[in-house]
Amino acid sequence: MTGTTRGEVTPEDVAGVVRAAFGSGRGPVRVDRLRGGSKKGVYRLTFGDASSAVLYSWAASENYWPARAGSPDEREDPFSDATGYDLFVAAHRTLTGLGVRAPRVRLADDSRELFPADFVVVEDLRGETLDDLLDRDRDAAGAVMARLGEMLTVLHGSPSPVLGKVAVVAAGDGVAPGDRTAERTVLDRVVRDLAEGAALDPRLAELREPLTEVAAELAGAVGPRGTYGLIHGELGPDHVLIDPSGRPVLIDIEGLMYFDVEWEHVFLRIRFGDSYPALHRPGLDEDRLRFYRFAQHLSLVAGPLRILRGDFPDRAFMRGLVEEHLHHTRAFLTPRGTGRPGGDCRSRCPGIRR
Asked if 35 and 57 count as a contact pair (C-beta separation under 8 A), the reply is no
Average pLDDT, the chain: 89
Which residues, 6 or more positions from 59, have their beta carbon under 8 angstroms from its beta carbon? Answer: 1, 3, 41, 116, 117
pTM (2 d.p.): 0.89
Q: Say whether pLDDT at 19 is over 80.
A: yes
Angle at 270 between CA 122 and CA 295, to 5 degrees: 100
| pLDDT for res 25 | 82
Stated as kind and residue range, the H or E segment containing 303 is helix 286-307
Question: Quick one: average pLDDT of 309-336?
Answer: 89
d(CA 162, CA 181): 9
Q: How far apart are CA 25 and CA 3, in angstroms?
A: 27
Residue 254 contacts residue 88 (beta carbons within 8 Å): yes
From 44-48, 256-260, 262-266, 310-314, the region with the lowest mean pLDDT? 310-314
Specify the DSSP class assigned to residue 259: E
- Distance set, CA 245 to CA 35, 48, 147, 237, 313 (Å): 24, 26, 12, 18, 35
**DSSP H or E run through 53:** strand 52-57
Radius of gyration of the CA atoms of the chain, in A: 20
pLDDT, mean of residues 215-235: 96
Amino acid at site 115? F
Examine the pLDDT at 345 and tell me if it is beyond 90.
Answer: no
Query: What pLDDT does residue 310 have?
Result: 82
Tell me 143's DSSP state.
Answer: H
Q: Which of 256, 215, 216 is nearest to 235 (CA)?
A: 256
Burial class (CB in 10 A: 0-12, 13-18, 19+), 329: buried
- pLDDT of the residue at 36: 61
Hey, which residues does 165 pair with through a beta bridge? Answer: 257
Q: Is the pLDDT of residue 13 over 50?
A: yes
pLDDT tens readout for residues 267-315: 999 999 999 999 999 999 999 999 999 999 999 999 999 989 887 778 9
Whole-angstrom Cα distance, residue 90 to residue 192?
Answer: 28
Whether 160 contacts 54, CB under 8 Å: no
Between 233 and 25, the more confident residue is 233
Would you state the pLDDT for residue 119? 97
How would residue 2 be classed by pLDDT, with cut points 50, 70 and 90? Answer: very low
**Mean pLDDT within 16-21:** 96
Domains of the chain in start order, with CATH, are 15-123 (3.30.200.20), 130-330 (3.90.1200.10)
Q: How far apart are CA 91 and CA 152, in angstroms?
A: 15
The helix/strand/coil state of 105 is: strand
The Cα 42–Cα 32 span in angstroms is: 9
